[in-house]
Amino acid sequence: MKEKVLLALSGGVDSSVAAILLQNSGYEVVAATIKMHDFSESSINDAKKICDQLNIQHIVIDAKQKFYEIVMQNFYDEYMLGKTPNPCVLCNYKLKWQSMIDKANELKIEKIATGHYAFIKYYENLKRFSIIKSKDETKDQTYVLWRLPQNFLVRTIFPLSDIATKAEIRKIAYENNLPSFDKDDSQDICFIPDNDYRKFLKEFNAKNDLPTIGDIILDNKKVGAHSGYYNYTIGQRRGLGVSHACPLYVKEILPEKNQIIVAEEKDLYNKGLIASHINLLKYTKETFPEKEFLVKIRYKDNGKLAKCKIIDEKLEIIFAEPRKSVTLGQSAVLYDNNELIGGGIIEQVIE
């Protein structure tokens, strides 16, 4: 009797090919599409077509209310605090994986699988799981997986781990006549398809009481007015409406004062940061080595070396060279060569 695996199937090319690879490896695949918002309907229909073609059982997990409460509410709340959140990091940890694990338990299935670009490694001597970067560096998704705990990783399979490139995945899909072979990759934030987060915040605020105009401050002096601090992100240059001898950028957002602090580019660099909500993979907090790791401070960041240590349940990161525009709410993610070490949520900047 074949071992069953519950696959998160979005209807895209990656999870579709993951289904084929799992079947080829001898698994009986049960596919689950997670309904998270109104934009999910087309994905559900696409996933159903693929399951029909591959003769796979297809189920829909309705997580719309949980997605609203866990991901969308947090996204709104963080912006109201002057931060810039990573909704995909939170969603993977608290919603996608948890929903898949819950459904797998209900169906008495031990393993779950996703179409993420990553590889899981187990250290027998440490009794711990780690995540290794994808072979295709341009598609690597480990940055959004750093919060996954050990009890999730022990049950997770990444079928695409041995695939070298996206082109190879599309080739497999084409050769198997999958309708998803030329489907575009998903972009940006799934619940904001037009990428207009400011519009989303306004629509999400049912009371229509978003913060109004306030002061833009340069060197402790008012130099202009902003249209609501939630409309700005750290490092932003355009749309400030302030004339100055040199270009100005958002350096800090102060919700409690309804102020935006701006500065010249030379004043945007930070010595380090403090991160909370730490999750470690290979190491524990007790075995974590005080050493230099490559640290990414945003999703598309290539990363830079930094000295890292744990102090009072928080991660102190001191950069080898100052980094520009460290942003509260983003994830600071640690790597040792191609291995994901862990990460935390940036809660404080060290000037």
pLDDT digits (tens, 9 = 90+) for 286-324: 999 999 999 999 999 999 999 999 999 999 999 999 999
Q: How confident is the model at residue 177 (pLDDT cuts 50, 70, 90)?
A: confident
d(CA 65, CA 319): 40
What pLDDT score does 164 carry? 66
Q: Coil, helix or strand for 229?
A: helix
Do 323 and 269 meet the contact criterion of CB atoms below 8 Å apart? Answer: yes
Q: Could you give the angle at the alpha carbon of 349 between the alpha carbons of 348 and 351, nearest 5°?
A: 145
The Cα angle at residue 310 between residues 304 and 312, in degrees rounded to 5: 140
91: annotated active-site residue: yes
The amino acid occupying position 234 is I
Q: Which tops the pLDDT comparison, 139 or 270?
A: 270
Q: Of 230, 234, 351, 328, nearest to 277 (Cα)?
A: 328
Handedness of CA 21, 23, 27, 28 (dihedral sign): positive
Average pLDDT score over residue span 26-33: 98
Gap between the Cα atoms of 320 and 302, Å rounded = 15
Which listed residue (88, 190, 246, 308) is catalytic? Answer: 190
Catalytic choice (51, 88, 91, 308): 91
Q: Outline where the chain has alpha helix (H).
A: 13-24, 41-54, 64-67, 73-80, 87-90, 97-107, 150-153, 166-175, 197-204
Averaged over 190-196, what is the pLDDT?
A: 89
User: How many CB atoms are closer than 10 A to CB 143?
Assistant: 21
What residues does 269 pair with on adjacent strands? 324
- Residues 118-172 have pLDDT tens digits of 999 999 999 999 999 988 888 889 999 999 999 999 999 999 988 868 889 999 9
Contact status, residue 32 vs residue 133, Cβ threshold 8 Å:
no
Instruction: Give the Cα separation of 295 and 326 in Å (integer).
Output: 12
Using pLDDT thresholds of 50, 70 and 90, give the confidence band for residue 51: very high
Q: Is the pLDDT of residue 181 over 70?
A: no
- β partners of residue 28: 4
Instruction: Answer yes or no: CATH 1.10.10 is held by domain 211-266.
Output: no
Q: Which residues contact 243 (CB under 8 A, 6 or more apart)?
A: none
- CA distance between the termini of the chain: 60
Q: What does the block give as tokens for 257? A: 């004062």
Token digits of residue 138: 């341009």
Q: What tens digit of pLDDT does each residue of 66-109 get?
A: 999 999 999 999 999 999 999 999 999 999 999 999 999 999 99
Cα distance between residue 182 and residue 179, in whole Å: 7
Helix (H) or strand (E) holding 333: strand 331-336
| Architecture, CATH, for domain 4-115+158-175 | 3-Layer(aba) Sandwich (3.40)
Does the pLDDT at position 187 exceed 70?
no
Reply yes or no on whether 246 is catalytic: no
**Is 180's pLDDT higher than 70?**
no
Cα distance between residue 112 and residue 15, in whole Å: 12
Token reading at 327: 């942003």
| CATH number of this structure's domain 269-350, picked from the four choices 1.10.3720.10, 3.40.1390.20, 2.40.30.10, 3.40.50.2300 | 2.40.30.10
CATH 2.40.30.10 domain locations along the chain:
269-350
**In terms of C-beta density within 10 A (0-12 exposed, 13-18 middle, 19 or more buried), how is residue 121 classed?**
middle
Comma-separated ranges of CATH 3.40.50.620 domains in the chain = 4-115+158-175
Rounded to the nearest integer, the mean pLDDT of the chain is: 94
